């Protein structure tokens, strides 16, 4: 009988194959996953809780309707071009510090409002505000 204690070799677990499998799974899931860019935030504009200002009798009021048409002091512009908008805004501006109030419809294209901001800042309007209605 052989009762000698045999020396056992320490077991080695190689992690390399396991890491390879994990990386392959990671690559597989990255390739097969579809990324959605849909926004789940519903935004209703323009409503705000703010104080009403008394500067409206001295302001230039620019209105943007649902179709993206521009109106300056309730007079429609002849077309939607930015050149016409710039001419009419500079003609209606008498004082350098007069505010520009933008009345944009909630369903108006955002690009129309951005274009108005861009043109107004190029002309020299420094006091630009958006008119909103009080939240119910």
Q: What is the CATH number of the domain that holds 63?
A: 3.30.420.270
Choice between 1 and 83, residue whose per-residue pLDDT is larger = 83
**Per-residue pLDDT, 45:** 42
Domain membership of residue 118 (yes or no) is yes
Percentage of the chain exceeding pLDDT 70:
75
Domain membership of residue 61 (yes or no) is yes
Instruction: Write down the residue that tokens 């009021």 correspond to.
Output: 61
Domain membership of residue 7 (yes or no) is no
Domain membership of residue 35 (yes or no) is no
d(CA 68, CA 70): 7
Choice between 88 and 44, residue whose per-residue pLDDT is larger = 88
Domain membership of residue 66 (yes or no) is yes
Tens of pLDDT along 40-79?
A: 333 344 545 555 555 445 788 888 888 888 888 778 888 8
Full domain range(s) for residue 72:
55-130
**Per-residue pLDDT, 49:** 57
Domain membership of residue 77 (yes or no) is yes
**Per-residue pLDDT, 19:** 93
Sheet holding 70-72, edge to edge: 75-76, 70-72, 60-64, 100-104, 128-130
Domain membership of residue 27 (yes or no) is no
d(CA 120, CA 93): 10
Where residue 39 falls among pLDDT bands split at 50, 70, 90? very low
**Per-residue pLDDT, 96:** 63
Domain membership of residue 91 (yes or no) is yes
Q: How many domains does the chain have?
A: 1
**Per-residue pLDDT, 42:** 38
């Amino acid at each position: 009988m052989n009762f000698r204690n045999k020396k056992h070799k320490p077991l080695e677990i190689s992690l390399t194959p396991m890491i390879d499998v994990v990386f392959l799974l990671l690559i597989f899931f990255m390739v097969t996953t579809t990324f959605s860019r849909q926004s789940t935030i519903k935004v209703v504009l323009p409503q705000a809780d703010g104080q009403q200002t008394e500067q409206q009798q001295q302001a230039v009021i620019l209105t943007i309707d649902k179709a993206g048409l521009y109106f300056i002091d309730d007079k429609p512009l002849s077309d939607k071009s930015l050149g016409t908008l710039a001419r009419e805004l500079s003609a209606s501006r008498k004082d350098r510090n007069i505010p520009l109030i933008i009345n944009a419809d909630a369903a108006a294209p955002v690009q129309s409002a951005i274009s108005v901001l861009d043109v107004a800042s190029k002309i020299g309007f420094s006091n630009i505000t958006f008119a909103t209605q009080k939240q119910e």
